[in-house]
Structures are given as structure tokens and as C-alpha cells.
Amino acid sequence: MIDKIKHSLEDAIAPLQDGASIMVSGFGEAGIPFELLRAVLDKGLRDLTIISNNAGTHEVGIAGLIKAKRVRKIVCSHPRPINSETFLAAYRAGEVELECMPQGTLAERLRAAGSGLGPFFTPTGYGTLVAEGKEQRVIDGKGYILEQPLHGDFALVRAHLGDRWGNLTYRWAARNFGPVMCMAAKHSIVQVNRVVALGDLPPEQVMTPGIFVQAVVAVGGER
């Protein structure tokens, strides 16, 4: 029997080790797996590489890990929306590295990894600092740069409903990076608002098929 349901956050993140690269879903506060991130903090993990759209805000989530000096490197598209003081201070103090890339390139690099593709040419960033050191090509008069698949050990994702096969739905725009990160990571761990029985999710409405998910844990708090 396939049963990906974990009965505690600790069980769900048990495979994580120091030095892991971890994708974290979310845009704004929508879709951020705060409870899983809190469990990572509590577990005492160190030397982490975090792949996410932002670098955390206030002192929770990714910012909480940065504040506790658990993060070696942030790979993201926008490390300084408002309330990003925790990251900015740590970065200026030399406590954390930064790799910044266009948001669409971040999403597409994750997709290439999850889809088994190699590098791909994108026009985004051509003629800019983003292109430095990268292979470039002009095709039909338009410039492109070669971007690499972005693999990671784990994904921590927030979804809405999940079943024991790992099938997921997301609420509204909390979907954002969840589906592509579940595809891209070797091991995807998903917190859901509610676990439902197998067969409760209509097949046509599943947003992440269970094949891309390794663990599902309910955190309650359904909105």
C-alpha cells in the first residue's frame, strides 16, 4: 500500500540532513510552508541552501532560519521585498551567500530539473548582468542565454488538500511554486490543511499528481 501520510512534522522532515538544498514554495506569504520551516529550525539543521522566490520576511519562515544562522546560501529572484531586514543584515554581515536570478528563469530552471531536460535558452536576461559568464546565442535576431536545470534535495511545500498517494490541490494563488518544486526536488514534503481519503480529489482537479510527492503532513488551520 502506498501511504505517504506522516503523522507529525518531525516524521515528515526526518530525511533532511545538514547541508541539504531545500526548495521552499510561496510567493508573498501565500503558499509558504511555515510549519515545516519551523520544524526544520527546531531540528537544528545547519548549512542549508534555500531555493525560494524570496529570502524570507520578518523573523519567521526562511528569515527565522537565516536569523539562527542555519542558511549558507539563498537562491532566489527577489531577496528584498519589504520586511526583508533579516536577510539584508545577514547578507551584509557576510553570513549568507546570495544567488539571484529572474523569477521566470527560477521557475523554468526548476521545471527543467523536474522534467529531465538539460539546459535551455531563454531570452530573459540577455544583454544584462544575468548573462555574464553564460553561453549566449542570437537566433533570428533575438538574443538568448543558456540556463541550467536547478536540482535540489528536498522541497518543502504548502498545499491545501492531500491524499495518501500524494495528490495535491492548492488554494488560489498559493499554488505558485508548489507544483514545479514538487517536480524538481528529489524528495518533496508537503504540508496540507487537510488530508482527504483516496478518491476524494476529483482526478481532473488534482494540481500535483502524487508521483511528484514523497510525504504529506496535515497542519490543520484550514482557511
Q: Are strands 152-158 and 185-192 parallel, antiparallel or unpaired?
A: parallel
Among 2, 88, 127, 137, binds its own copies (CB under 8 A): 137
For 161, the grid coordinates are 488538500
Q: By CB under 8 A, which span of 2-10, 21-29, 115-123, 178-186 interacts with its own copies?
A: 115-123
Work out whether 154 is an interface residue with other proteins (CB under 8 A). Answer: no
Work out whether 114 is an interface residue with other proteins (CB under 8 A). Answer: yes
Residue with Cβ nearer other proteins (45 or 53): 53
For 23, the grid coordinates are 526548495
CB 192 within 8 A of CB 156: no
Q: Which residues contact 154 (CB under 8 A, 6 or more apart)?
A: 15, 16, 20, 21, 22, 23, 185, 186, 187, 188, 189
For 214, the grid coordinates are 514523497
CB 211, min distance to its own copies, A: 15
For 9, the grid coordinates are 512534522
Cα separation, 215 vs 213, in Å, equals 6
CB 101, min distance to its own copies, A: 15
Site string for its own copies, 148-187 (x = CB under 8 A): ---------------------xxxx--x------------
Residues found near its own copies in the complex (CB under 8 A): 108, 112, 115-123, 137, 139, 142, 144, 169-172, 175, 203-205, 207
